[in-house]
Chains A and B, each alone.
Chain A
Amino acid sequence: MSPTVAVVGASLAGLSAARALRNQCYDGRIVVIGDEEHLPYDRPPLSKDFLAGTASLEDIALSSPDDADLGLEWRLGTTAVGLDHLSRSVLLRDGSEVEADGVVLATGARARRLPGGEGLDGVHALRSLDDAIALREDLAAAERLVVIGAGFIGAEVASTARKLGLDVTVVETQPVPLAGPLGPDMGAVCAELHADHGTRLLTGTGVAGLIGTDRVEAVELTDGTPLPADVVLVGIGATPNIEWLVDSGVALGNGVLTDARGATNIPGVVAVGDCAATWSTSAERHVRIEHWTNALEQPATAVATLLGSADPAPSPVPYFWSDQYGARIQFAGSRRETDVARVVEGSCADRSFLVLYERDGEPVAVLGMNQPRLFTRWRRQLRSSVAALS
């Protein structure tokens, strides 16, 4: 019988793993298990063009015509519920199991929910295609949107809803949005986009609860103020989908723990994408990265590991982007709190700038707003300097 690799998770990381297996000349069976009914699709447009109705399902499909040659066996609409580490069998909710010689864990993450928000119509999270369709339908009939959480998802949905003509308020617990990824100074600059486009931003403000019986009517702030809302979007981060592995013997932390090459503690089992907490030599800890580019690139290394390679792991430069209110924000590198941010091109007031984050005088990260060309050069530069160091 030909060898089998089970890829658990059918989004960008899972598809990239399947492609990488074939790229690396694996010619055995590949079974891709996905809990959604849909073939792999691209998630970033869900808060932008797809939500606005300007991109179709076909536009955001990830598979290309060439993927037909990959010879993948799809098990869609089936949730993995367990992994037997001795036989390396993936147990599925329908009672069947997939016996495999190698397993790629790519189960991603799910949106964190607001406690007490369950069961109330008009309250949404945004992670999946079905989430986006439901939110889009609800926004079409709404006038007032309240977004809880001013992170990237929250800001992008706020931006799309403004474009659709809604009255939008964003509520953020932290004093400055995006201070985690960008630092307080640049977080504040990016958050100014909200006011530029008529979105109300309330910072340093907690949410006490949601008001409404069947359908949400308002968001109650911790100071007692009710914010009337026809629709509420909760954008307060994501949780890795790893509970199904609790009894599997796979070591778990804030994600599936792997070494720098994607190997878990169980031979023949690797993990990639949003569900993986991968050892970072530079950070000296396991780091779980939820970026799209990581889900695209990381599987090549993990698959090589699965196929027996022991080449040194590449040192990727983390990269993410966000499109809000017509502005393109791009960030690359690894920022620490003590790094110093310096504008090297353009100006924050013009919403067109390039910022370098420096540590001991050396650039370690770069942030651009509406500066794609210059940003690309700096991102390249960071990549080559990281490669030279490792």
Chain B
Amino acid sequence: MTMPEADNGVDISTAVVEARGLGLTFETNDGPVHALSDVNLSIGKGEFVSFIGPSGCGKTTFLRVIADLEQPTAGAITVNGTTPDKARKDRSYGYVFQAPALYPWRTIERNVALPLEIMGHSKAQQKERIARTLELVNLSGFEKKYPWQLSGGMQQRASIARALAFDADLLLMDEPFGALDEIVRDHLNEQLLQLWEKTNKTICFVTHSIPEAVYLSTKIVVMSPRPGRVTDVIDSTLPRERPLDIRETPEFLEIAARVRDGLRAGHSYEE
């Protein structure tokens, strides 16, 4: 099967996610809801892609389509060059939800072990991976704690560790820091960048914060609602090395301004 070159110039052969004319319409009692309409997008290996837009723009839905949690009603999508269903069965991505979604009856280490148990890793392997991933998210020493004994930020870090535990190359994150205060969020953003640097994973990150999207991403996908669609794709010119104060540089503010313009253009304030 040969594929055409994507619009944004990413080489298809290395595309981790590839969407062509993707659409998803929910049938509801109030008539059809067009959650996604004609989405064309290529995400290359090792990219950090943020999806930003107001609620109802389909950013979470798009992530859920990649994860095979929703079925598209139009167009085509490939994940790792195959169908989302096959990719899911290959366990090729880790998913981080809006809430930590830790199982309250399991300790932090047992929570991180959950995917490993399901995927049939040996006890020794589990132990090694738990130690490694908890180290990666700075949670060493909290193995025996139950989720309720940890702060919200720590819980979300544990859920990231759980998504990393089985070494999937693709990390899907759905507003993982949305419920946290700004100070914790800054800290976690910094840690996430370091983690991305260290692990060289491809990350798809849903957010509704412009500074967060610009700070983290190599590519920013601006979306707008009714119907949910992509209105702009911005390739970041920021260097990979990003200290927190990069957010005061003119370059950063320029990208932020373009994102804001994109959001304004795509979003009708008529209603």
A and B: real partners? no
Identify the A interface with B (CB < 8 A): none
